[in-house]
Amino acid sequence: MVMFRSFVPPLGALLLAATQAGAQGVLIDKSEIRFVSKQMGVNVEGRFRKWKANIVFVPKDLDRSKADLEIDLGSIDLASEESETELKRPLWFDTSKFPVAKFVSSSIRNVGPDKYEVAGALTIKGVTKDAVVPFALKKDASGNSLAEGNFTLKRLDYRVGEKEWADTETVANDVIVRVRMVLPPVQG
């Protein structure tokens, strides 16, 4: 049995952090979507190298706000070519049939000072489930907005890690997704 790093796509996470992007866009080179899963009780960390977001964020009119995201599942980065190749196969992401994970928001709501939740539909490997992603917003010294949050995905809900990999003693079902989006100031 090949040991490799497991992961569930942080698409939902993307959505949440990207929601802050608004018309100003997302500074992709300064932003990241990371995840942590457990294999045989050991944390395995990774990220996605390629993703895109269509974001409109209007804090004073959240009904007009949206976050539509796509993650290239083939861009998974686990610092292990063997693990990355394995995760592209049919028992995991099956990237030949399902190359992209998608999140389409249905609502964004304020839940406290500089805290938001994005609700929507997350689709991974042809399975669509409702997802809610919390995030916090703050400014950095350059005036950029930082949207940061994390949430937990259940990989088996999306058929990620099937058959022999469905054993949660070997690969945990919970995958923590961490998102950090950097949004430039709106130019006026």
**Distances 3 to 38, 93, 165, 187 between C-alpha atoms, Å:** 12, 17, 11, 48
The per-residue pLDDT for 26 is 81
114 occurs within a structural domain:
yes
The per-residue pLDDT for 143 is 86
The per-residue pLDDT for 56 is 72
Q: How many domains does the chain have?
A: 1
5 occurs within a structural domain:
no
The per-residue pLDDT for 8 is 38
- Return mean pLDDT, the chain: 84
The per-residue pLDDT for 142 is 87
User: Which residues, including other chains, have CB under 8 Å from residue 125's CB and lie 6 or more apart?
Assistant: 93, 94, 98, 101, 158, 159, 160
52-71: per-residue pLDDT in tens? 877 777 778 889 888 788 99
6 occurs within a structural domain:
no
44 occurs within a structural domain:
yes
Nearest to 2 by CA among 98, 87, 99, 125: 87
Q: Contact at 8 Å (CB) between 98 and 124?
A: yes
pTM, to two decimals:
0.82
3 occurs within a structural domain:
no
The per-residue pLDDT for 83 is 92
145 occurs within a structural domain:
yes
4 occurs within a structural domain:
no
2 occurs within a structural domain:
no
The per-residue pLDDT for 19 is 36
Ranges of residues in the chain whose predicted pLDDT is under 50 = 1-24, 188
The per-residue pLDDT for 187 is 54
101-136: per-residue pLDDT in tens? 999 999 999 999 999 999 999 999 999 999 998 999
CATH number of the CATH domain containing 85: 2.40.128.110
Tell me which residue range forms the domain holding 33.
Answer: 11-183
Q: Which residue has the tokens 């190749």?
A: 85
